[in-house]
């Protein structure tokens, strides 16, 4: 049955591959956005712009506040599954209770 299922869903393989790539890119972008090194660089850039007179001290303070909120915000330091509000369930709770057709799952072995 698995071979048949694989053959039937083969046309959707590019979509599954693209979805996996998008997830990796999104995860990397989030890690870059919350990276302490990048945050420090942005804060230093704000200070440099303020001392050069390119921005006002109020604009610098607002920029610093935005950068620090990104660092300490609710999404900082959490895994992507935690951000979605989905807690990890125990392995027993993750097991499927239905078969692929939506009917109740029968125990393996024995007769139907």
Q: What is the tens place of the pLDDT at every residue in 76-91?
A: 555 444 444 444 445 5
Q: What stretches of 7-53 adopt beta strand conformation (E)? A: none
As to burial, measured by CB atoms within 10 angstroms (0-12 exposed, 13-18 middle, 19+ buried), residue 46 is buried
22 or 36, which is more confident? 22
Distance CA 2, CA 11 (A): 15
Question: Quick check: 97 pLDDT over 60?
Answer: no
- Asked whether 67 and 102 are in contact (CB, 8 A), the reply is no
All residues at 6 or more sequence positions from 16 whose CB lies less than 8 Å from its CB, including other chains = none
């Amino acid at each position: 049955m698995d071979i048949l299922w694989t053959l039937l869903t083969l046309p959707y393989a590019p979509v599954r591959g693209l979805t996996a790539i998008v997830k990796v890119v999104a995860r990397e972008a989030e890690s870059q956005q919350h990276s302490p090194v990048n945050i420090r660089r942005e804060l230093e850039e704000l200070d440099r712009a303020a001392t050069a007179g390119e921005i006002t001290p109020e604009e610098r303070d607002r920029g610093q506040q935005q950068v620090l909120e990104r660092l300490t915000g609710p999404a900082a330091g959490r895994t992507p599954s935690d951000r979605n509000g989905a807690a990890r369930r125990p392995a027993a709770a993750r097991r499927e209770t239905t078969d692929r057709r939506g009917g109740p799952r029968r125990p393996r072995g024995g007769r139907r």
